[in-house]
Amino acid sequence: MAWRLWQFYLVRGELQTARELGEECLSLAGDDTTALLVAHYALALCLFYLGEFAPTRLHAEQGTALYYAQHHHALASLYGYDLGMACLSYAAQALWMLGYPDQAQQCCQEALALARQLSHPFSVAFGLGHKAVLHQFRREGRAACESAQELITFCTERGFSQWIDMGTILRGWGLAAQGHGEAGIAQMRQGLSSSQGAGTKLGQAPVLAQLAEVYWRTAQTAAGLQALTEALAVMDTTGERWWAAETYRLKGELLLQQGALEASEAERCFQHAMDIARQLPRATGCHKPGAAVAAAGQAYGSQRVAGAGLRLVHRRIGHCRSPGGQGTA
């Protein structure tokens, strides 16, 4: 019963309530490894969407350590997908956000391999979706597009509408990243509209922000700002903040694109993005807020702001990369 309630509040975007239910499940689990696995996964997922990546990683890895395929795979018929695969998938996303790209890719590959080994179709769809998302994180437009198409084909044959919507959004982003802006926007809006029509709130805010990025890159400033207004409204309602730094950075970029008169407001957006980024000890791509603040400072004629942005760039890149150029855990 607690799991069904957790799913209900999660899909509705009531993340704090879902988190409280996850914590309740953990407190009641005792020494039951199955109950502990379920609780750690529930908390990992909630914490990821709330933007708390270090505890996400902790709970996902604890769930993975508890998972034993021969014993726990039967739970997929009850919970909808294999929980070991799901823990690996969210460990991968948390590792990426914390600045460990190699480990993130390895976890993602292990998750999909496990789903295929178990021959559980919905788990395979889950793994394919997370694979496409990781390509998006890596800014690999062609690979994201190809993975999204694989996801769409697989799910169309099986009627998994939720993942078809996600695949359509990701395929659109991949097309836009390859220079096909209008085609990409159309696909992203199609997938988003279908998802919204199904009543899903989780994931809406970052998709709107990613759509705004495409509008920014295609110089459609007003449309981009409108998408971000919607994204921020959803964030305020749900508390979904895993894409918050990028959302504020993009608002700053769009305000600068709109004109010099907006530079002071853009500066505030960049500063907010930096404040969010500073909360993470390491973060992949975390130099973006600092670089954008530096650009804002130059545009606004503020050496103080430009210097602050560049200092964050240098400090964060130093934390995010090992001497060999890759994050290590």
CA distance 206 to 30: 36
pLDDT at 252 over 70: yes
Q: Output the average pLDDT for the chain.
A: 87
CA distance 162 to 314: 40
pLDDT digits (tens, 9 = 90+) for 128-173: 999 999 999 999 999 999 999 999 999 999 999 999 999 999 999 9
pLDDT value for 290? 53
pLDDT at 295 over 80: no
Dihedral sign (CA 216, 217, 223, 228): negative
pLDDT value for 280? 72
CA distance 89 to 45: 10
**pTM here?**
0.87
Residue with tokens 């973006």: 288
Question: pLDDT grade, residue 199 (50/70/90)?
Answer: confident
Q: Could you tell me if 46 and 18 are in contact, meaning their C-beta atoms sit under 8 angstroms apart?
A: yes
Which among 198, 190, 272 is positioned nearest to 235, based on CA atoms?
272
Name the strand (E) or helix (H) holding 127.
helix 121-137
pLDDT value for 294? 56
Which tokens sit at 197? 């029509």
Question: pLDDT grade, residue 324 (50/70/90)?
Answer: very low
Q: Could you tell me if 132 and 170 are in contact, meaning their C-beta atoms sit under 8 angstroms apart?
A: yes
pLDDT at 260 over 80: no
pLDDT digits (tens, 9 = 90+) for 80-138: 899 999 999 999 999 999 999 999 999 999 999 999 999 999 999 999 999 999 999 99
CA distance 266 to 225: 12
Name the strand (E) or helix (H) holding 61.
helix 53-66
pLDDT at 236 over 90: yes
Question: pLDDT grade, residue 274 (50/70/90)?
Answer: confident
Give the type of residue at 256: L
pLDDT value for 1? 60
pLDDT at 180 over 80: yes
| Phi, psi of 172, rounded to the nearest 5 degrees | -60, -45
Tell me the angle at which helices 53-66 and 83-97 cross, rounded to the nearest 10 degrees: 150
Which tokens sit at 30? 């005792």
